[in-house]
Amino acid sequence: MIFETIISTIDLNGKVNFAPFGIKKKQEFIFISPYIPSTTLNNIKLTKCATVNYTNDSSFFVNCIIGKKKFKKEKCTKINGFFLKDALSHDEIVVESCKNDKIRPTFKCRILEKFLHRRFEGFNRANGSIIEACILASRVRILNKEKIIRDLNNLIPPIEKTAGKNEIKSWNLIKEYILNETK
């Protein structure tokens, strides 16, 4: 099973990078497989740690994709890093091992500590559509234009039925990004 999260890492100068990221979990381990090349990959290789941020606010995913990553953050307590201030929870992790691959190496990371910040209030289906749109946006240079537009259109019903003001704003941002990138 893949869990959609926001990974935060830092470079050697302490600059924070936030990236939407699908992770896998098994017991007290998290598996992260960043594409080559990527900032997340470089930072994890350098620092051997990361923060996994859990949120039900799809605007974080959208803003990462469109390059607006200036989120409120707080210092981690167990690793040299930062977590999203508005995350529901976060895990501070360290790299145990790495399985090399030409496209996506996989880091096996041990959870040092789990932190709960606020209660999960339930799912909004519009957020699921927005996150799927973000995944499409991350693949605009890989998939053909017709498939992207068809898949994007299939995500509209939950937006129309369940979105609030924030979800509509996020949907419009990611939809505009995809349409501009597929011209």
Residue 128 tokens read as: 């699921």
- Residue 138 vs residues 42, 64, 178, 182: alpha-carbon distances, Å: 18, 10, 9, 12
pLDDT in tens, 32-82: 999 999 999 999 999 999 999 999 999 999 999 999 999 999 999 999 999
Contact 41, 34 (CB under 8 A): yes
pLDDT in tens, 8-46: 999 999 999 999 999 999 999 999 999 999 999 999 999
CATH, range 3-116: 2.30.110.10
In this structure, the number of other CB atoms found within 10 A of the CB of residue 160 comes to 11
Q: What residues does each domain of the chain span? A: 3-116, 125-181
What is the per-residue pLDDT for 106?
Answer: 98
What is the rounded end-to-end Cα distance, in angstroms, of the chain?
33
What is the per-residue pLDDT for 145?
Answer: 95
